[in-house]
Amino acid sequence: MKNYMSSAALIFLLAASPAFGAEVPLYKDAKAAPAARAADLLGRMTVEEKFGQLQQLDGLWEGNYREEHLALAREGRLGSTLNVRTAPFANTLQKEAVERSRLGIPVLFAFDVIHGYRTIFPVPLGESAQWEPQLAEAAASAAAEEAYSVGLKWTFAPMVDIARDPRWGRIVEGSGEDAYLGSKLAAARVRGFQGADYGAPWKVMACAKHWVGYGAAEAGRDYNSTDISESALRNVYFPPFKAAVDAGVVTFMTAFNDLNGVPSTANKRNISGVLRGEWGFKGFVVSDYTSVKELILHGLAADGEDAAVKALSAGVDMEMVSTLYRETGPAALAAGKISQADLDASVLRVLELKFRAGIFENPYIDPALEAKTLKTPEKLALALNAALNSMVLLKNEGALLPLSPGIKKVAVIGALADSRADMLGSWSADGKPADAVTLLEGIRAVAPGASLVYSSGAFAGAADKDLDRAVAEAAKADVIIAAVGETFDLSGEAASRVSLALPGRQLELLERLKKTDKPVVAVVFNGRPLELGWLNDNLPAILEAWQPGTQGGLAVAQTLFGLANPGGKLPITFPRSVGQVPIYYGHRNTGRPPDAKEKYTSKYIDSSFEPLYPFGYGLSYSSFSFSGLEVSPAVIAPGGKAQVSFEIKNISRRAGSEVAQLYIRDEAGSETRPVRELKGFQRVTLAPGEARRLIFELGPEELGWYYAGGYAVEPGRFKIYAGNSSAGGLEGVLEVKP
């Protein structure tokens, strides 16, 4: 059969070809390479349109845009928004940009999807207690699906700031104190949000934040200045960001903090030097909320124009919320204060990602997607599993836990046991308290035979009669479950505290509950390490539940009653008292390490120097033994690799999971190194009596570190530790010889 082209098809082809009639610009050709499309588009843009693409503006809390966004979008001067979401709002604003602006560049919709969008997972610090990157990846992937379904294509996550000061409220948003664990989780979350192709449906662009050092805020006061040595930056604060880059993260957010005298949002050495230069990052960098304008208050910029010049020249591509690029940029460019090359490079980076994200081809979201995507049974099951795996059993004297589901009378005391909002945590996006399962509901579901007495007891501001009632109710029960800790708003952004004590009259309540002589199980809901010393000394059982998300109360109840076996581990040290802060396992040794018998050693005269619970700590209803540590070969060259193996065995009659942890200590170097560094971990589930030999590899990546002159594995002796926390464990030696 001959293949004749119909005349209609021929006319169409000719019309679409550049040689015939109106030219179709290269940037509109979906098959052309993103970089070529971006370059073509750049060449067509006015200066105002270029600065407009670098502008990100804030929407309204319910997801709507602001009136001014419409006009800016129509003028092609709105690059991105944060908080505008859901089809009605996003599509209306998008239409102005795509169909009414001169060049039709779509708006990029961003939102803080931190630990879930509608289905809420445990707060990131709690999720980190799983020591299970695949679960964090799955949670991020589910969150991406939900976010995508309401028109979002970019999340401001993961937050990968290392933090060692629990006074800092934002410690809840990160992975805790450790660079190695933090790096594994950073990479997992990036993979979860972006998948193999963030331009695909159901995926969103991720954003590593806050670059850099924000978690080292002096005195734990949010937004405070930081002074961080080059060694600490390279070995502690940078690694999770590097891991995010290696996992393919496409955007970075600069931090609010002043870092060694140069605020992060104008820190050229870190943005253009380290991130782009050394690491080859190809994505774009957004400022934090008004952090460009804040360069004036920092005392770095003399005025608005100076702030824009300094941020843009340092390599900050997009300005969040403040409007100095847009307003002062064109004149600064004309005056030669901003270089054309810097401006064009920033615009190109933003455009290229917009092309890669697929929003030129798919600018709108199908309004029907949301209902099919949010809070599906699969996502709720994932959230339950996530919460179960994040539980950390801190104490269980006399195997009080798990409780028997046949138990007759249970007193559930404490307002947190019946608070939906407090299950969700401080950054719960569009999570709805109404969706959350409380602890009280969870216990009702899990132990239907128990007669529950509930009393809100004493949270902040409670009256004497509240306490009296709670104690009277509790005294009648067989067991008391006391929900204590922090409300969701006591951690998170701008929620630093000088005290790590249980807020309100909670400790007083616990003291009185203890006096009833009934067994008391404390369930702690919180976004930061708290002082739990009294609880540890006086109560038989303590379960750390964090803010466990939509299914949180059910997860806690299943754990308390033995339907699940806790196996989480602390991703952060719990101090005995706030006065020990900062306290973390990977400290240096000093020339006078703490010695209880020696006065002139590094310790306190009014408190122990030990933490209450070390990093990596957590119990289980099962018991495990570690044995047979082997290091092979025992001597390697600086570029070589050794295998460390050991056996872990479930020596109890209950299946359970344990996190095997591998630490090293570089005993002597050209600079002093931490007393321990985590270099491997694996969470394993073992049946009763089951044993498994685990193998870890130690090579240049694990043994090396950054010193003033670069990165190296130095010859010498490395101590090896293997166990179930950062304290104790099996010991071995690895020798590195040139």
Catalytic residue positions, numbered: 288
Element (H, E) at 627: strand 624-632
Least separation in angstroms between residue 277's CB and ligand NOJ is: 25
Nearer to ligand NOJ, 82 or 172 (CB): 82
Six token digits for residue 146: 């939900």
711 forms beta bridges with 706
Nearer to ligand NOJ, 217 or 471 (CB): 217
Residue sitting closest to ligand NOJ (CB): 156
Give the CA distances from residue 337 to residues 4, 262, 343, in Å, rounded to whole numbers and listed in that order.
60, 19, 11
Identify the sign of the CA torsion 33, 36, 41, 42. positive
The rounded distance, in Å, linking the Cα atoms of 547 and 173 is 11
Q: Are 319 and 265 in contact (CB under 8 A)?
A: no
Torsions phi, psi of 442, nearest 5?
Answer: -60, -45
Nearer to ligand NOJ, 86 or 573 (CB): 86
Q: Are 532 and 574 in contact (CB under 8 A)?
A: yes
Nearer to ligand NOJ, 156 or 241 (CB): 156
Burial class of residue 709, CB neighbours in 10 A (0-12, 13-18, 19+): exposed
Least separation in angstroms between residue 226's CB and ligand NOJ is: 15
The rounded distance, in Å, linking the Cα atoms of 531 and 576 is 6
Nearer to ligand NOJ, 289 or 584 (CB): 289
Give the CA distances from residue 654 to residues 554, 564, 620, 717, in Å, rounded to whole numbers and listed in that order.
21, 11, 10, 39
Nearer to ligand NOJ, 155 or 419 (CB): 155
Torsions phi, psi of 341, nearest 5?
Answer: -65, -45
Q: How far is CA 376 from the centre of its chain?
A: 23
Least separation in angstroms between residue 306's CB and ligand NOJ is: 23
Nearer to ligand NOJ, 82 or 162 (CB): 82
Beta strands in 175-293 (DSSP E): 207-211, 251-254, 258-259, 262-263, 284-286
Least separation in angstroms between residue 548's CB and ligand NOJ is: 22
Q: How far is CA 262 from the centre of its chain?
A: 25
Least separation in angstroms between residue 542's CB and ligand NOJ is: 31
Least separation in angstroms between residue 169's CB and ligand NOJ is: 11
Six token digits for residue 502: 């249980």
Residues that bind ligand NOJ (CB under 6 A): 82, 112, 156, 209, 288-289, 493
Least separation in angstroms between residue 84's CB and ligand NOJ is: 12
Is the preceding omega at residue 633 within 30 degrees of 0, hence cis?
yes
